[in-house]
Amino acid sequence: MAVAKTEGWKAKVWYNLVAPDMFGKSNIGETIADEPEKLIGRNIEVTLGELTNDLSKQNTKLILKIDRVGGDSAYTKYMGHQLTQDYLRSLVKRETSSVETNVSVKTRDGYTIRVKPSCFTIKRARENQVKAIRQIMNNVIEGRAKEMDMEQFVQDVVTGKLSASIYHDVKPIYPLRRVEIRKTEIEAEPIAS
């Protein structure tokens, strides 16, 4: 007797993607899988504008990872964010300086986060001014990360509060046009005991 073969698509089930707690546990879309275990570990990219219904935040992409499945819902956690390339290119102007740095910080609750900020000056800055700007950016980011947990730090990054703090501290060194956190990545999570 012949064994009935199930078609691949008919065996698959749709799952609702749920945003992390810090973004309001809103529904961000759907994904398909034949087994719930195959969903765990998938990366999802969604813009901050879609999550907050604010079109001015369309240039910020959030990277979320599915970490658990319950019923027909797949729950995600924050893994990082980045600004779109076209937006970053629009910030670079002739006869100005772009000061970038790369710092790994540890939050109060034990997360290690890689933060990559950029400052855009009004005119071209000298090398000693660029070094001073870079040092202040690193100090501000490290200081803010030590006093916050991961969720508070991420909220400050995506809402622009961290950028505003950097702008305020760097402004006496050299006039700035814009400060952006171009990318963050969660490098390590606290070890559960």
For position 10, what pLDDT does the model report?
A: 78
pLDDT at 6 over 70: no
Q: What is the pLDDT of residue 5?
A: 67
Band of residue 11 on the pLDDT scale cut at 50, 70, 90: confident
Residues 8-27: what's their mean pLDDT? 89
- Cβ atoms of 118 and 88 within 8 Å: the answer is yes
Q: Taking the domains of the chain in order of start, what are their residue ranges?
A: 13-83, 85-188
Report the distance separating Cα 121 and Cα 32, nearest Å: 46
The C-alpha atoms of residue 58 and residue 49 are separated, in whole angstroms, by 5
Query: Residue 3: is its pLDDT beyond 90?
Result: no
- Residues contacting residue 143 through CB under 8 Å, at least 6 positions apart: none
What pLDDT score does 2 carry? Answer: 64
pLDDT of residue 16: 95
Q: Which is it for strands 13-18 and 27-33: parallel, antiparallel or unpaired?
A: antiparallel
Task: Give me the torsion for CA of 11, 26, 88, 144, rounded to 10°.
Answer: -130
Check whether 162 has a pLDDT greater than 60: yes
- Taking 60 as the threshold, does the pLDDT of residue 193 lie above it? no
Residues 69-99 have pLDDT tens digits of: 998 999 999 999 999 999 999 999 999 999 9
pLDDT at 151: 95
pLDDT per residue over 113-161, tens digit each?
A: 999 999 999 999 999 999 999 999 999 999 999 999 999 999 999 999 9
CATH number of 85-188: 3.30.479.30
